[in-house]
Amino acid sequence: MLGTLGIVQVRSGANGPHRRRGNRDTRSFGGKPLLEWVVRRVTDSQRLDGVIVVLGSSPAERKTAALVPPDVPVFCSDSGDALAQLTDALQEYEARAVVRVCVDSPFIDPVLIDRLVCSAESQHRCDYVGYSQADGRPAILSPLGMFAEWCRADSLREANRLAEHPADRDQVTRYIYSHPERFNIRLIPVPAALDRDDVRLAIESEEDWEHAQTIYDALGPDDLDWQGIAGLLDHHPALRQRMADLNRSYSQT
């Protein structure tokens, strides 16, 4: 059995309340399809014991499997919702815990993934570890687009048995972090340099693509850690203002 398994999940609607997939997974970023890029960022983590990609069974999603690097396993589930698909994968790839990553996060930081795993390993009987903003909101629901979340595999299975609301089925960990009376939740503060309403790094719109490309062009492939990105944004107030405008627009939809 693996210790902590990294899972990049490809699922329309599974990454938050306003995510839009379209042809996002196949679109090029850094000279690679976005899915391949995100998978490679996750495999750079030092604290994961393996990485897989989880897909649904639709023709479009199965076609997406060709974009996954050949050394990374792909699991296709016939289940109809994201939570069930992930727990299906855990029947095939047994692990004590999972780090789940959304495919709309090209700037997912391996160092922040490792921090999650280290925090989880230092806690006894922890069920969920995630990043949170200063107001207490889980960062996974924000457009920050740089954060993963850690879950105990048994807790995911329990959520799969109990969750009935469609949002809990579609947003994989929502049932867990919404029930602190049942699950042991630990939240790590988002770095202050990123915990602001004028940072937006998740890919949801055409303008988000343009902003991501601007960041990539400025920093290059080797300096895309969270400190480098935060420092770059500090020197581009017009870009931050546009990100803030987009955040307000999306929060009203």
In a 3-state reduction of DSSP, which class is residue 156?
A: helix
Cα separations (Å) of 67 from 33, 61, 169? Answer: 7, 10, 26
Q: Over the chain, what is the mean pLDDT?
A: 91
> Which residues on neighbouring strands pair with residue 129, listed in sequence order?
150, 186
Residue 60 confidence (pLDDT): 84
Token pair listed for 252: 């009203």
CA 47 to chain centre: 16
Residues 227, 231: Cα–Cα separation, whole Å: 6
Across the chain, where does the E strand assignment appear? 2-10, 28-29, 32-33, 50-55, 74-76, 95-102, 128-132, 149-152, 185-189
Burial of 10 (0-12, 13-18, 19+ CB in 10 A): buried
Of 242, 138, 144, 142, residue with least CA distance to 200: 144
* All structural domains of the chain: 2-251 (3.90.550.10)
> Tens digits of per-residue pLDDT, 41-98?
999 999 999 999 999 988 888 888 999 999 999 999 999 999 999 999 999 999 999 9
Q: Which residue has the higher pLDDT, 17 or 114?
A: 114
Instruction: Report the share of the chain in percent with pLDDT over 70.
Output: 93
- For residue 128, is pLDDT > 80? yes
- For residue 18, is pLDDT > 60? no
Q: Which residue has the higher pLDDT, 204 or 73?
A: 73
- For residue 17, is pLDDT > 50? no
Of 250, 246, 95, 85, residue with least CA distance to 171: 85
Average pLDDT over residues 235-252: 92
Of 115, 105, 78, residue with least CA distance to 7: 105
Residues 56, 243: Cα–Cα separation, whole Å: 31
How many helices (H) and strands (E) in the chain?
10, 9
